[in-house]
A = this chain, B = another copy of it.
Amino acid sequence: MENFHHIGSCPIRDVLSKLGDKWTMLIMVTLKTNGTMRFCDIQKTIGDISQRMLTVTLRSLETDGLIVRKVYAEVPPRVEYSLTETGYSLMPHIESLVGWALEHMADIMERRGVREEVRS
């Protein structure tokens, strides 16, 4: 853990720019939990993701080699997504982070004041 930043590339910036967006982690956790899934099922599981963002994020994950996209030549079309080995190797670290969140997020929310209300 050196002082990476400031020169070329920084692993913190890299990992955050890839996985720090609104939907990437949610999709990967969903795929890890449910295994291979179809486009529509992922969308229904997450619930409030738009078609556009699901497509965009899936494409990005596929490009990065974290998920695989498998198209079946049928009508109606069927496309299935699943984690790659690399994608799978990321999950323990995420779960570790989620574990921390489950322990401390209640306190953090309380400090910050829950008077932000519903807002949505």
A99 contact set on B, CB distance < 8 A: 93
CA distance A73 to B21 in the complex (A): 40
| Cβ-defined contact, B16 with A29, below 8 A | no
| Cβ-defined contact, A100 with B90, below 8 A | yes
A interface residues, tally (CB under 8 Å): 51
Helix, strand, loop or mixed for chain A's interface?
helix
| Cβ-defined contact, A15 with B105, below 8 A | yes
Copies in the complex: 2
Smallest beta-carbon distance A86→chain B, Å: 6
Asked if A75 CB lies within 8 Å of chain B CBs, one says: no
Q: 7 A–B contact pairs at CB < 8 A?
A: A5-B45, A5-B46, A11-B101, A12-B29, A93-B99, A96-B96, A97-B97
CA distance A32 to B12 in the complex (A): 14
Asked if A51 CB lies within 8 Å of chain B CBs, one says: no
